[in-house]
A = this chain, B = another copy of it.
């Protein structure tokens, strides 16, 4: 899992939420140093304590404010609801420059959660880049994964499409996908994030239409070498 000789550190902003907590769990389990971030450092510390209890000794999970988590991590994942997306990014802008930011946000606008509604930037991930500027790499991933599955040690029957501002950004993100126990695919430039984010509305629609709860996707017809 290392990119260099030490365990890589990953901040999970909004890591007290269900999706973020699930990713934090999987990454800490894989040996990453996980910095759970929240607007409230107290809530982040409580979530980190929960995760350490689940994971047992040896796991590195700390709870911090979003700002401190972003500042201390090498890679920063954003797992906040879309309503908190802009504010969260603006609050960590100075701390993420030169790093890799992985945006997990789905720009769902209740009540029409089964209808694709993208922000003017084209997608939440492109909006993140607009807010944060060109001084960092941005990737998008994990939009279609059910948070309920992440916190359990069971196989997840849904692939993860990864977009990003460079091949290197996508490759680094794909390592985190694998570390989370998932199958990932390089899905191209950040402009393609609209597909990943929009697919969440499509899958929610399919769940309602067909009476299911965990619709996902798999890429077919490709054998990874």
One of B210, B212, B221 near A216 (C-beta < 8 A): B221
Stretch at the interface among A70-78, A114-122, A131-139: A114-122
Q: Is the CB of A222 within 8 A of B217?
A: no
Q: Which residues of B contact A191 (CB under 8 A)?
A: 115-117
Q: Which residues of B contact A154 (CB under 8 A)?
A: none
Asked if A186 CB lies within 8 Å of chain B CBs, one says: yes
Tell me the residues in window 97-141 of chain A with beta carbons closer than 8 Å to chain B beta carbons. 114-118
Q: Is the CB of A206 within 8 A of B225?
A: no
Asked if A211 CB lies within 8 Å of chain B CBs, one says: yes
Q: Is the CB of B115 within 8 A of A221?
A: no
Asked if A17 CB lies within 8 Å of chain B CBs, one says: no
Q: Is the CB of B188 within 8 A of A114?
A: yes
Per DSSP, chain A at the interface is mixed
Protomer copies: 2
Interface string of A167-203 (1 = CB under 8 A from B): 0000000000000000001111101101100110110
One of B115, B116, B195 near A199 (C-beta < 8 A): B195
How far, in Å, is A117 (CB) from chain B's closest CB?
Answer: 7
Of the A-B pairs whose beta carbons lie under 8 Å apart in the complex, a sample of 29, sorted by A's number, is A114-B189, A114-B192, A157-B220, A158-B221, A185-B209, A186-B205, A186-B210, A187-B205, A187-B206, A188-B201, A188-B202, A188-B205, A188-B209, A195-B195, A195-B198, A195-B199, A195-B201, A195-B202, A207-B222, A210-B222, A210-B223, A210-B225, A215-B219, A215-B220, A215-B221, A215-B222, A216-B220, A218-B218, A218-B220
CB-based closest 8 A-B pairs: A188-B205, A212-B222, A195-B198, A214-B221, A216-B220, A157-B220, A187-B202, A218-B218
